[in-house]
Structure 1
């Protein structure tokens, strides 16, 4: 082979070798400029991902805030602390000689002097300035009067409630259950007032 041909072949091989090296370097540079998959995954894991939109395009609903349950009430203790209602019971009877209650009414402009007595057999004796009359109450009337006498609120009524500055008021004197109660009704006593009203219906007009 001539020497000139051999030199040309060596030169060509050298050029091709240099071209191949530069091409490999470009690919390596391109690879180094691209982020690695491991680096992307690590950075993504440390960041907070934005909420994903729903398929319809609406923003996701916020998570419900937990609320504390209301405190439980102790119904049993409430029922124990509530005061029980007490219904009056009719007072017992012991026959005709028993005077369950006696009410005397005096005073007023005309000088009233009246009395009504409820006996244990249901009879009612009334008197008006000496005139006496005896009548018999019905079963309902008798039970009603005895129930009014059995009202526990009567235990709280004082022995005397009289306005000394009012001379023209009627004065009511009641004797029952071993007690004597005097009032002119100037002070409000519901249990006593109900009893006076019921007995007053038997007095002469």
Structure 2
């Protein structure tokens, strides 16, 4: 999320600017971002044995995370699910 409140979601088909999040989506996003402790997360959480999995990349407040969601990342997984739902709502 950028200082102006905008969010950029990137899917397989390219960028989707989601500045138009609904009030409920934005409120949930704020709550989820507060719950995620990015400093305690690994920068990369990818299974060495998995093949053909999606990768999710998050960048927020100077932190980056790349995950294939093969490992439980707690609130970060909830954040990814919410952002995916926001993207689906705009397709």
Please indicate the TM-score interval, normalised by the length of the shorter structure: 0.7 to 0.9
Measure the CA separation in 2 of the matches of 1:136 and 1:193: 23
Q: How many residues align?
A: 88
Q: Is the 8 Å Cα contact of residues 148 and 191 (structure 1) preserved in structure 2? A: yes
Tell me which of 8, 17, 21 is aligned to 1:137: 21
Q: Does 1:197 align with 2:81?
A: yes
Note the alpha carbon deviations across 1:128-155, whole angstroms, 9 max, x for none.
Answer: 4346555511222212101211115443
* Bigger radius of gyration among the two: 1
TM-score (norm 1): 0.37
CA-to-partner distance for each residue in 1:102-131, whole Å, 9 max, x for gaps? xxxxxxxxxxxxxxxxx4444444454346
Q: Deviation of residue 183 (structure 1)? A: 0.6
The yes-or-no answer on 1:179 pairing with 2:63 is: yes
1:77-110 CA-to-partner distances (Å, cap 9, x unmatched) read xxxxxxxxxxxxxxxxxxxxxxx2xxxxxxxxxx
SS at structure 2 position matched to 1:168: coil
**Paired position in structure 2 for 1:4:** none
Structure 2's unaligned 5+ residue stretches are none
TM-score of the pair, normalised by structure 2? 0.75
Query: 2 CA distance for matches of 1:199 and 1:176?
Result: 13
The higher relative CO (CA closer than 8 Å, separation ≥ 6) is in 2
Runs of 4 or more off by more than 6 Å in structure 1?
A: none
What secondary structure is seen at the aligned counterpart in 1 of 2:30? helix
Question: Does the Cα contact within 8 Å between 1:145 and 1:195 map onto a contact in 2?
Answer: yes
